[in-house]
């Protein structure tokens, strides 16, 4: 039977509330007697806290409480909301610092009657610090004698290793060995609603209600309870509308601290971080140093791969111990190779904690791997597309990330369609014609005469050169098998034939609730407008749901929703069969009407069946409920292409066009899929060109602490974008769908970097591709970490 709702461009259910301004976010909520919370932060990157004098702040009229480390339960916790078990969480953080470990580390908090009073109270707190030596770079933190951040005796947070075959034998079999070093940057999600907007209230029984702008309500309940030492049943979490996630809410931000203020005052408290505070005190993408060594045959067959990654964890572990594993998984899952070795080391530094950000390690790994693959292709005289086609895992192969067979693969179609759209055959390599800057390898292979390099723009400007580049990627549809991926859904049929979907999926702006409603409508056989789903998640009212991470919502949550809808449909059909006198297998449902496929006279409406169920002889409401994990984790493929123009006088890079061809399984709502990819491309473009936080060596302060200093690209900065949806249906996804939330930004930086090489003949090994880095490469100066090609003799 043809699908009538799945695959259609449905308008998002929450759109009217959002465009009219009636959608309520945490900052919009009001409670009687609501207090304002604020946090005092360390100005030092590393300091012993000798004394905190809060007497003047406590005496200020309107201040209801002031808390420091000594006022907390003194329980170490981890803010990451990993679905346990299957995760390694190192508990190394208190609600307020015992020792300041980065600029922005919270050392005290207040709750007062209004914003001004709370701010004044912070000014009245006096802290005596003893500054300590600090370290900002991960490699330096590993060196003997480096300042230690914690009592573990070393700064290594965790180490992960993966091995297949014998990597040294593989290198001996290679005709060529390529070794390069790459470096990625510290970047922030910059969601419209800053992370760290929480409201909490403690009632007469001691029960806590926490309103959180989170991606993982049930996980926040666990973290708050653990950090405060209260039973989990004493914590209720409510998630209203959320203004973007991107991983920044993949765990606790300030929920436990806000709850502590509410417990101390016995009044509701709102604690909302400013933009500046999010740069100082919330999690960012991990900066990683990646050393990549690859052995290949002359025909491009990979014989050995090795990646050594050093991850800058920041001052606290949060995700970093387990985060080293997906970094290795992305590496080993990208290409078929009989021998590989990965070692990932996460290291403490005196910087703000690193954590989850869209892609969860894949953008960093992909930048390194796909940049090197282009260099390999160049050296071997192969088209970069050919090298990818030869070595990528495809349907039926074992995906090394999961060790499961790959269900479907749309990469070949994505490569073909993307290449045609960008004009790959017509434009790629034109700078070879007479250009002097196309060296065989090295990350800074330009000549001193930069103006003679590359593909000059038509019209006579000899300093502006164009090129095209590409990169491919593999991503996941959930966290299995490493992580548990439980979802719970209930479909409740009402007497008018409408349905309520009770599902705790944390839609943080990506539109997943609309897609869930489409799944219910299609599965039950009712119009989309008859499906109701509340955007507010309440852990008291909904079954357990892992949350929004790992591109899992539609794949994992959608599977649970579909199966719950199937259970409801089964009850509807069984009752209808009795009423119309037909076999259940002979009935179909469409547009709210149940019909016999063999006798048109035998029909009844879903509404009539639902009324009969409630008020007839059965007296039982039709409800379908499922609580389960998905069966698999089909990989998501994408090929992205970029066309750039590089000014060799200034080093400025302009991206003229981005093409993103993505295999999404089946696009349940194509408009939503396109929107996800387009938004991700904006983040990938910023990652490639402008976004970076560098800590000042002398003070340890971040070089950017607001959106005036941190360069997020806006609508006017965006190039022409073409999204191409490729549908290679998965076997285990709802209606064949795969994940799509993160993949759109994973290969963007590598595609742009490879286009820069095509334009001006230099490879860049550090993100972002700033004008100064481009100019340094054009002048033949080494980049952050020079690359070397070793040719086997």
Domain 405-478+634-782 fold is Aldehyde Oxidoreductase; domain 4 (3.30.365)
442: helix, strand or coil: coil
β-bridge pairing 593-596 and 587-590: antiparallel
CB-based contacts of 70: which residues, under 8 Å, 6+ apart? none
Are 592 and 522 a contacting pair, CB within 8 Å?
Answer: no
The DSSP 8-state label assigned to residue 579 in this structure reads H
Whether the predicted pLDDT of 442 surpasses 70: no
Are 347 and 384 a contacting pair, CB within 8 Å?
Answer: no
Q: Quick one: pLDDT at residue 689?
A: 98
The DSSP 8-state label assigned to residue 537 in this structure reads E
Helices (H) and strands (E) in the chain, counts: 19, 31
Task: Give 496's pLDDT tier (boundaries 50, 70, 90).
Answer: very high
| pLDDT per residue as tens digits for the range 251-288 | 999 999 999 999 999 999 999 999 999 999 999 999 99
User: 649 is written with which tokens?
Assistant: 């006088």
Whether the predicted pLDDT of 755 surpasses 50: yes
Phi then psi for residue 788, to 5 deg, are -130, 140
| pLDDT per residue as tens digits for the range 304-317 | 999 999 999 999 99
Q: Quick one: pLDDT at residue 81?
A: 87
Query: Cα–Cα distance between 652 and 260 in angstroms, integer?
Result: 49
Are 730 and 407 a contacting pair, CB within 8 Å?
Answer: yes
Q: Quick one: pLDDT at residue 114?
A: 98
CATH 3.90.1170.50 fits 31-132+190-281, yes or no: yes
Whether the predicted pLDDT of 793 surpasses 60: no
Q: Provide the b/e sequence for 84-123 (b: ≥16 CB within 10 Å).
A: eeebbbbebbbbbbbbbbbbbbbbbbbbbbeeebbebbbe
Q: Quick one: pLDDT at residue 461?
A: 77
CB-based contacts of 259: which residues, under 8 Å, 6+ apart? 198, 200, 202, 208, 210, 224, 228, 235
* Matching fold, domains 405-478+634-782 and 486-628: yes
Among 638-642, 772-776, 780-784, the least confident range: 780-784
Task: Give 152's pLDDT tier (boundaries 50, 70, 90).
Answer: confident
Phi then psi for residue 408, to 5 deg, are -160, 155
Helix, strand and coil content of the chain, in percent to the nearest 5, comes to: 30, 25, 45
Query: Cα–Cα distance between 325 and 238 in angstroms, integer?
Result: 31
CB-based contacts of 128: which residues, under 8 Å, 6+ apart? 49, 50, 51, 52, 53
Evaluated on CA atoms 725, 731, 737, 740, the torsion sign reads negative
Strand locations in 119-219, DSSP E? 126-131, 156-164, 176-183, 197-202, 208-212
Q: Which whole-number Å values give the CA distances from 232 to 213, 216, 219, 547, in the listed order?
A: 19, 15, 10, 17
| pLDDT per residue as tens digits for the range 11-59 | 999 999 999 999 999 999 999 999 999 999 999 999 999 999 999 999 9
Q: Quick one: pLDDT at residue 456?
A: 62
Architecture of domain 486-628: 2-Layer Sandwich (3.30)
Whether the predicted pLDDT of 453 surpasses 60: no
Q: Provide the b/e sequence for 150-171 (b: ≥16 CB within 10 Å).
A: beeeebbbbebebeeeebeebb
Query: Cα–Cα distance between 561 and 580 in angstroms, integer?
Result: 28
| pLDDT per residue as tens digits for the range 623-675 | 999 999 999 999 999 999 999 999 999 999 999 999 999 999 999 999 999 99
Evaluated on CA atoms 94, 96, 97, 102, the torsion sign reads positive
Q: Where are the domains of the chain?
A: 31-132+190-281, 405-478+634-782, 486-628
User: 205 is written with which tokens?
Assistant: 């029984």
User: Considering the chain, what is the average pLDDT of its residues?
Assistant: 93
β-bridge pairing 176-183 and 593-596: unpaired
Are 606 and 525 a contacting pair, CB within 8 Å?
Answer: yes
Side-by-side strand order, sheet with 47-53: 99-100, 47-53, 126-131
Task: Give 83's pLDDT tier (boundaries 50, 70, 90).
Answer: low
Q: Quick one: pLDDT at residue 780?
A: 87
Burial group, residue 343, by CB count within 10 angstroms (0-12, 13-18, 19+): middle
């Amino acid at each position: 039977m043809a699908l009538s709702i799945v695959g259609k461009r449905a308008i998002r259910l929450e759109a009217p509330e959002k465009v009219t301004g009636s959608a309520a976010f945490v900052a919009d909520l009001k409670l009687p007697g609501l207090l304002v919370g604020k946090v005092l932060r360390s100005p030092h990157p590393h300091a012993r806290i000798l004394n905190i004098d809060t007497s003047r702040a406590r005496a200020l009229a309107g201040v209801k409480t002031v808390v420091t480390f000594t006022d907390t339960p003194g329980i170490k916790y981890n803010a990451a909301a990993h679905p346990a078990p299957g995760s390694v969480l190192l508990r190394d953080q208190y609600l307020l610092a015992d020792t300041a470990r980065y600029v922005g580390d919270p050392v005290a908090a207040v709750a007062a009657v209004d914003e001004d009073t709370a701010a004044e109270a912070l000014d009245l707190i006096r802290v005596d610090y003893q500054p300590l030596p600090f370290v900002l770079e991960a490699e330096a933190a590993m060196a003997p004698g480096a300042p230690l951040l914690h009592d573990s005796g070393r700064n290594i947070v965790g180490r992960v290793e993966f091995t297949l075959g014998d990597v040294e034998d593989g290198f001996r079999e290679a005709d060529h060995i390529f070794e390069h070093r790459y470096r990625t940057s510290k970047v922030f999600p910059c969601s419209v609603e800053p992370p760290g907007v929480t409201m909490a209230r403690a009632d007469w029984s001691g029960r806590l209600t926490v309103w959180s702008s989170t991606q993982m309500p049930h996980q926040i309940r666990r973290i708050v309870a653990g950090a405060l030492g209260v039973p989990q049943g004493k914590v209720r979490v409510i998630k209203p509308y959320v203004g973007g996630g991107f991983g920044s809410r993949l765990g606790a931000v300030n929920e436990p601290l806000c709850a502590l203020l509410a417990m101390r005052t016995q009044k509701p408290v709102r604690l909302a971080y400013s933009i500046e505070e999010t740069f100082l005190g919330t999690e960012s993408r991990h900066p990683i140093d990646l050393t990549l060594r690859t052995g290949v045959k002359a025909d491009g067959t990979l014989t050995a791969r090795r990646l050594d990654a050093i991850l800058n964890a920041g001052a606290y572990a949060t995700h970093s111990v387990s985060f080293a594993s997906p970094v290795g998984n992305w590496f080993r899952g990208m290409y078929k190779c009989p021998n590989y070795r990965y070692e990932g080391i996460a290291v403490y530094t005196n910087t703000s904690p690193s954590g989850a950000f869209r892609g969860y390690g894949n953008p960093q790994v992909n930048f390194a791997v796909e940049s090197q693959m282009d260099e390999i292709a160049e050296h071997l005289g192969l088209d970069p597309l050919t090298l990818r086609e030869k070595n990528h895992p495809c349907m039926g192969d074992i995906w090394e990330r999961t060790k499961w067979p790959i269900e479907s693969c749309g990469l070949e179609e994505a490569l073909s369609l993307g290449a045609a759209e960008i004009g790959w055959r017509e434009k790629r390599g034109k700078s070879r014609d007479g250009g002097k800057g196309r060296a065989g390898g090295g990350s800074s292979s330009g000549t001193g005469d930069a103006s003679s390099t590359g593909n000059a723009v038509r019209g006579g400007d000899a300093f502006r050169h164009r090129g095209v580049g590409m990169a491919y990627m593999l991503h996941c549809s959930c966290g299995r098998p490493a992580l548990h991926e439980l979802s719970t859904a209930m479909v409740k049929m009402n007497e008018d034939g409408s349905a309520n979907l009770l599902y705790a999926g944390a839609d943080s702006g990506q539109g997943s609730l609309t897609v869930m409603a489409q799944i219910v409508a299609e599965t039950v056989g009712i119009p989309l407008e008859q499906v109701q789903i509340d955007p507010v998640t309440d852990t008291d009212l909904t079954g357990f749901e892992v949350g929004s991470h790992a591109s899992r919502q539609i794949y994992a949550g959608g599977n649970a929703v579909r199966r719950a809808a199937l259970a409801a449909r089964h009850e509807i059909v069984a009752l209808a069969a009795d009423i119309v006198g037909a076999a259940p297998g002979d009935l179909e449902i469409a547009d709210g009407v149940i019909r016999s496929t063999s006798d048109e006279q035998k029909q009844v409406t879903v509404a009539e069946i639902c009324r009969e169920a409630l008020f007839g002889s059965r007296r039982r409401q039709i409800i379908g409920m499922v609580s389960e994990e998905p069966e698999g984790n089909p990989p998501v493929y994408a090929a992205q292409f970029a066309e750039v123009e590089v000014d060799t006088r200034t080093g400025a890079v302009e991206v003229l066009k981005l093409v993103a061809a993505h295999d999404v399984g089946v696009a349940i709502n194509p408009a939503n899929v396109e929107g996800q990819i387009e938004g991700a491309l904006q983040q990938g473009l910023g990652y490639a060109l402008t976004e970076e936080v560098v800590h000042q060596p002398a003070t340890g302060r971040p070089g950017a602490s607001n959106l005036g200093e941190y360069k997020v690209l806006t609508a006017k900065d965006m190039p022409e974008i073409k999204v191409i949806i490729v549908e290679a249906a998965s076997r285990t996804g709802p209606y064949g769908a795969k994940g799509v939330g993160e993949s759109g930004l994973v290969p963007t930086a590598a595609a742009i970097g490879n286009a820069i090489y095509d334009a001006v003949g230099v490879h860049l090994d550090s993100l972002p591709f700033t004008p100064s880095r481009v100019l340094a490469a054009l002048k033949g100066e080494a980049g952050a970490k020079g690359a070397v090609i070793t040719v086997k003799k």
